[in-house]
Amino acid sequence: MGNGQFDTPILLIMFNRPDHAKQVFERIRSIRPKDLYIAVDGPRENHPTDRDRVAKCLDLLEGIDWDCNVHKLIRAKNLGCGKAVSSAITWFFDQVEMGIILEDDCLPDATFFTYCQELLATYKNDESVMHIGGVNYQDGALRGDGSYYFTKVCHIWGWATWRRAWQKYDFSIKNFDRFKETGAISNVLSHSEDQNYWLKAFESVYTHKVDTWDYQWVYTVWSHNGLCILPNHNLVSNIGFDEFATHTTSRNLLHSDKAVTPLTTIIHPTFRLEDKAATEYSFKTLFRTKSEWNKKVDRMKLRLRYRTWHI
């Protein structure tokens, strides 16, 4: 980008992981956004290290050494993963029409930002497109004839959307009972195992058994017949699989620290249609209950990758 500044607003969501947040902040700093929104959840009670860690995250803002409109949402008390993240995104879209969302463990390649910016502009007025994601878990398979493809899968490790889409979000998914009673899930997913998996996921947030926000976003996209965009090469690496995470506490070598590939030229696909093969592959490999054989294959992949990393 030379000496210019990045025009699309960015929301950085942080909590108690300053080392992770610093890496993400430095990547944002490299593109010099004009508008940077910072949301930080408050320290938890009975977690003595939280206050210091949250403060260290806030100290990162001293590194804003370019001309930048900085907007802050700093929580005095801890809201938890679900409310803290979802309310931060709502706060963001109360002020911007479209933008990029990064949590403190999602480290993007620099070209992720221009990818999001171009696609936000391209699909600004297309109500059918609701989500732009930055990760790729297609294991080398290229989908369609463009730099990205359309799918039902809403990966949120580095993503972007529009106010028009987020306004449909309902943290409590109030109409889930009706969604379940009418069998609406069958209009989204054809495989019974996928249907069961996602109905259980939606039920877990509907009944307040799981504190998260992203299942509700998936529900929002699917219940509005929305499409998601994902790149044909990975643009974001999740660096947060460790003991400080809320949900990704175990190191998953297949998902964490995944290599990124710069996207220097964006080729738009000819057709604005869901790539069903890509969707099926994601559900099969990431969400369905794996057979014993597939579990063995995964374990072999993990061992091989571990050995490669430690040569």
Same-domain pairing of 133 and 272: yes
Same-domain pairing of 88 and 175: no
Question: pLDDT (tens digit, 9 = 90+) per residue, 30-63?
Answer: 999 999 999 999 999 999 999 999 999 999 999 9
pLDDT of res. 135: 98
Task: Decide: 274 and 226 in contact? Cβ < 8 Å.
Answer: no
pLDDT of res. 221: 98
* Tally of structural domains, the chain: 2
Measured distance CA(115)–CA(159) in Å, rounded: 10
- pTM value is 0.89
Q: Is 247 a domain residue?
A: yes
pLDDT of res. 148: 98
For 98-211, list the strands marked E by DSSP: 98-103, 106-108, 129-133, 148-151, 159-162
pLDDT of res. 303: 43
The two counts, helices (H) then strands (E), for the chain are: 10, 10
Same-domain pairing of 18 and 147: no
Query: What is the residue range of 5's domain?
Result: 1-104
Q: Is 159 a domain residue?
A: no
pLDDT of res. 5: 84
C-alpha torsion sign, points 178, 183, 188, 192:
positive
Same-domain pairing of 234 and 178: yes
Spatial neighbors of 192 by CB under 8 A, at least 6 apart, are none
Same-domain pairing of 32 and 61: yes
Same-domain pairing of 235 and 138: yes
Same-domain pairing of 114 and 225: yes
- Looking at residue 68, which CATH number applies to its domain? 3.40.50
Q: Among residues 86, 104, 122, which one ends one of the domains?
A: 104
Give the number of other Cβ atoms within 10 Å of residue 53's Cβ: 18
pLDDT of res. 256: 57
End-to-end distance of the chain based on CA atoms, in angstroms? 36
Same-domain pairing of 115 and 24: no
Q: Is 160 a domain residue?
A: no
Q: Is 161 a domain residue?
A: no
**Residue bearing tokens 């996602």:** 198
Same-domain pairing of 9 and 126: no
Spatial neighbors of 185 by CB under 8 A, at least 6 apart, are 179, 195, 198, 199
pLDDT of res. 292: 46
pLDDT of res. 255: 55
Same-domain pairing of 137 and 269: yes
Same-domain pairing of 190 and 84: no
Q: Is 180 a domain residue?
A: yes
Same-domain pairing of 57 and 122: no
For the chain, list the strands marked E by DSSP: 10-14, 35-40, 69-74, 98-103, 106-108, 129-133, 148-151, 159-162, 227-231, 236-238
pLDDT beneath 70: ranges in the chain: 1-3, 241-257, 289-311
Residues listed for the chain:
311
